[in-house]
Amino acid sequence: MSNERLRQLPSVEEVAKRFSGVPHGLLVGEIRRAIERARRVLLDGNAELPDIEADVRESLRGLRAPSLRRVINATGVVLHTNLGRAPLAGFSAISGYANVEYDLASGKRGKRDVHVAGLLERLTGKPGIAVNNNAAAVYLVLHELAFGAEVIVSRGQLVEIGDGFRIPDIMQRAGVVLREVGTTNRTSITDFRQAITDRTKLLMMVHPSNFRIQGFTSQPTREELTALGRELGIPVYEDLGSGCVIPLFDEPQVRDSFRASVNVISFSGDKLLGGPQAGIIAGDAELVSRIRRNPMFRALRLDKLILQSLEETLRSLVFEDYDAIPALRMIRMTAETIEARARVLLTQMPGELVAGESVIGGGSTPEQSLQTWLIALPESMESRLRAHDPPVIGRIEDGRLLLDLRTVFPEDEATLVDAVRASIA
């Protein structure tokens, strides 16, 4: 029975005749995939022959449609890791050519660092460079400053962040030897002092941005660690993670590290900085210059589009135009503002107004929440909103779909209303 049904499968040429305007190689490949899928369906015992032509057309439609799409984030998670972390401010990407590595004043080759270097120095107070994410920044600092030598870290700061990124693993890949000191909850400056040998090249601090240890805990202060480093001629490196540059959050600020004489820091560009994915390295001019000369810097450097977006973000921060940065604007938004917006929308669509909380997210400020107002809808609407164009992403709690306008751009409110109306069963 199966062999008889398999003989009814069409040939590639027979199906190809029904299509036009598709590159031959692409079309043949998609038809072969569709025929193979149909063959497996028949061998599984299904009696009905699948519609291979429809399968191919659907596959071609999928290839033509972009996979990366704009979505409306109504979750209330500002730095949503699955939705690209910090939402980017709109900017007009430079089309054609750009002076990425060309010095317009001299007419000679330049460095792409120049587009953000001045802004970074004004923002942090120290020279800085940028690479493609903070994991790359950590790797590069360790590889240049301590390759083949020991780096001392408190055992309580050997953190793991998203997608399995672990400090011990990145240290191993960077070619440094991890020297753990202290215990999970308590480490003293004496632990660091006693661990130092002639192989020690770096003292490292890691901010545990995505968790908190409370109770009977202690860690050396920055000032204690930098004093020890100065005494023994060993630089101190701090990975700040979130990159907080304004006093809005319960997070260590970049300039606080330099006030305590930390030699080098690194942090993310797409968390509390509010920009694109990037890793920022800043600190003592001599050390930053060394890190930039590392051969791996070229492999980890920024693309021109990210460079342009980062430049725009840094400029807004330097001029304290915080509302120009969507993530910071959302975090600073009051619950009263959100309530007023929600009440207006509820005159145009169904839903119930309930009090709730937003979170900053992205592995930042794990204990902080932001008071907000939520629009509650039936949970059954979640999949229909997610299938809308553009997709609307909410969150499910207690059997309800909750929409938080904190993370919805005002210009998307009309689209959100249309999506909810279209999703009513």
pLDDT in tens, 244-291: 888 876 777 899 999 999 999 999 999 999 999 999 999 999 999 999
Q: What's the pLDDT tens digit per position in 108-140?
A: 999 999 999 999 999 999 999 999 999 999 999
Contact by Cβ (8 Å): 260, 226: yes
Is 3.40.630.10 the CATH classification of the domain at 72-85+327-423? no
- Which residue in 76, 88, 45 sits closest to 326, CA to CA? 88
Residues 6+ apart with CB under 8 A from 109: 101, 102, 103
Segment 184-212 shows an average pLDDT of 86
> CA geometry: angle at 254 spanning 251 and 259, to 5°?
110
| Residue 179 phi, psi (nearest 5) | -120, 105
Q: What is the pLDDT of residue 41?
A: 87
What pLDDT, on the 0 to 100 scale, is given for residue 246? 85
Q: Mind listing the pLDDT tens digit for each residue in 362-394?
A: 666 666 789 999 999 999 999 999 999 999 999
Alpha carbons 389 and 419: distance in angstroms, whole number: 8
Neighbour-count burial of 128, counting CB atoms closer than 10 A to its CB (0-12 exposed, 13-18 middle, 19+ buried): buried
In the prediction, which pLDDT does 49 show?
Answer: 83
CA distances from 175 to 146, 168, 336 (A): 8, 11, 52
Residue 51: which pLDDT band, with cuts at 50, 70 and 90? very high
**Residue with tokens 């600190």, as numbered in its chain:** 283
pLDDT per position as a tens digit, 291-320: 999 999 999 999 999 999 999 999 999 999
pLDDT beyond 80 at 165 = no
Measured distance CA(289)–CA(282) in Å, rounded: 10
Q: What is the pLDDT of residue 409?
A: 97
Mean pLDDT for the chain overall: 91
The residue ranges of every structural domain in the chain are: 2-63, 72-85+327-423, 108-321
Give residue 249's pLDDT. 67
pLDDT over 70 (residue 423):
yes
Alpha-carbon distance 149 to 298, whole Å?
23
Q: Write the burial class of residue 151 (CB in 10 Å: 0-12 exposed, 13-18 middle, 19+ buried).
A: buried
- Confidence grade of residue 424 (pLDDT, cut at 50, 70, 90): confident
pTM as predicted? 0.89
Q: What are phi and psi of 46, to 5 degrees?
A: -75, 135
Q: Which two tokens stand for residue 29?
A: 């490949």
Tell me the helix, strand and coil percentages in the chain, rounded to 5: 45, 20, 35
Query: What class is the 108-321 domain?
Result: alpha beta
pLDDT in tens, 82-95: 999 999 988 899 99
State how far the alpha carbon of 52 is from the alpha carbons of 47, 56, 178, in Å.
Answer: 15, 6, 57
Instruction: Choose among 322, 319, 277: nearest CA to 300.
Output: 277
pLDDT of residue 1: 46
CB count, 10 Å around CB of 219? 19
Q: What's the pLDDT at 334? A: 96
Neighbouring C-alpha atoms within 13 Å toward the C-beta of 421: 11
CB 291 within 8 A of CB 145: yes
Which range has the worst mean pLDDT, 55-59, 210-214, 305-309, 353-357? 210-214
